[in-house]
Amino acid sequence: MAHILGGIFTSHVPAIGGAIARGQEQDPYWSPFFDGFKPIHRWLATARPDVAVVFYNDHGLNFFLDKMPTFAVGAADSYHNADEGWGLPVQNGFKGDAALSWHIIEGLVEDEFDVTTCQSMLVDHALVVPFQLSWPGGGQWPVRIVPIAINTVQHPLPSPKRCLALGRAVGKALRSWQGDERIVVFGTGGLSHQLDGERAGFINQRYDQFCMDNLGPDPDALTKISALDIVEEAGSQGIEIVNWIAARGALGEDVAEVSRNYHIPISNTAAATMLLESGSTALERAA
């Protein structure tokens, strides 16, 4: 049985990658966001995960509007980043874990999630930026990855309820894995933001607060409204919260909040970072 240690939840704004490339982490604009990762660095140093299961959304790098899977799971032994048009330096590749990916895929299909399987997959800023934030200093990634992409781009979008169920099914599959890998789960994107259209720049602090307050203790509360209602509440890109919801589902029932940071704005986004530790990890720590 894999050991699910906890979850890292963070915005994935591409401009963060630009700030890292320019060494601006401690500039006044950026430090209120980057400082939110200090507790995560401390936690990762003791948690020492082997594998990261990453719920994120592709923004047109690996999938485009012509072929858009609702849920896609990487099943490769390596993954690459590529230039997606933001002008960010291309980051080092990532090791995968195809055997664990296939185990998760089998569990998901068994649980009636008919996912797309990807034996090759490019990963965009939504995976790369959270990794640069979590393991700063030069693009060495100490974990193998299982990327799980959720469509947040092309309507119809999956319901938040279905995304939570997907995450729970991934958690169930991890608990039935034969190995004893130490797993960290990522949920990336959000919080409220809208990049274009009449409401470009839209941010909803009240909704963001509701999401952060309920994510740990009552994730089902985030699934009471439809994907379209989330677009209304959080903006057309704020729907990326479904990646957080799915990641939360994978953590199991009991979690403890270790840290939280919320800062407006980073680029067009209400930038947020949270760390939830899974119940068993919290108990072990207390013992």
User: Footprint of Fe ion on residues 161-220 (CB under 5 A)?
Assistant: 189
Q: Across the beta sheet with 51-56, what order do the strands follow?
A: 116-118, 71-74, 144-150, 51-56, 182-188, 3-10, 269-278, 255-266
CB of 194 to ligand DHB, least distance (A): 9
Q: How far is CA 2 from CA 79, 152, 229, 280, in A?
A: 22, 28, 35, 12
Q: How far is CA 204 from the centre of its chain?
A: 20
User: Footprint of Fe ion on residues 111-130 (CB under 5 A)?
Assistant: none
59 tagged catalytic? no
CB of 237 to Fe ion, least distance (A): 6
Q: Choose the one of Fe ion, ligand DHB, none that binds residue 168, judging by a C-beta under 5 to 8 angstroms depending on kind.
A: none
Rounded Cα distance between 205 and 255, Å, is: 24
Rounded Cα distance between 44 and 36, Å, is: 14
Residue nearer to ligand DHB on the CB measure, 98 or 195: 195
Lookup: tokens for 7 = 């979850």
Q: Choose the one of ligand DHB, Fe ion, none that binds residue 3, judging by a C-beta under 5 to 8 angstroms depending on kind.
A: none
Q: Choose the one of ligand DHB, Fe ion, none that binds residue 193, judging by a C-beta under 5 to 8 angstroms depending on kind.
A: ligand DHB
Q: Choose the one of Fe ion, ligand DHB, none that binds residue 116, judging by a C-beta under 5 to 8 angstroms depending on kind.
A: none
CB of 286 to Fe ion, least distance (A): 36
Q: Choose the one of Fe ion, ligand DHB, none that binds residue 14, judging by a C-beta under 5 to 8 angstroms depending on kind.
A: ligand DHB
Residues forming the site for ligand DHB (CB under 6 A): 12-15, 59, 189, 193, 195, 237, 240, 267-269
Rounded Cα distance between 264 and 251, Å, is: 27
Residue nearer to Fe ion on the CB measure, 107 or 189: 189
Residue nearer to ligand DHB on the CB measure, 14 or 74: 14
Contact present, 275 and 13 (Cβ < 8 Å): no
- Peptide bond before 44: cis, by omega within 30 degrees of 0? no
Contact present, 250 and 275 (Cβ < 8 Å): no
Residue nearer to ligand DHB on the CB measure, 3 or 12: 12
Contact present, 128 and 184 (Cβ < 8 Å): no
3 tagged catalytic? no
Query: Which entry of 3, 12, 103, 125 is annotated as an active-site residue?
Result: 125
Lookup: tokens for 35 = 């400082």
CB of 86 to ligand DHB, least distance (A): 8
Judged by the rule CB under 5 A, the positions of this chain that interact with Fe ion are 189
Q: Which residues carry out catalysis?
A: 125, 193
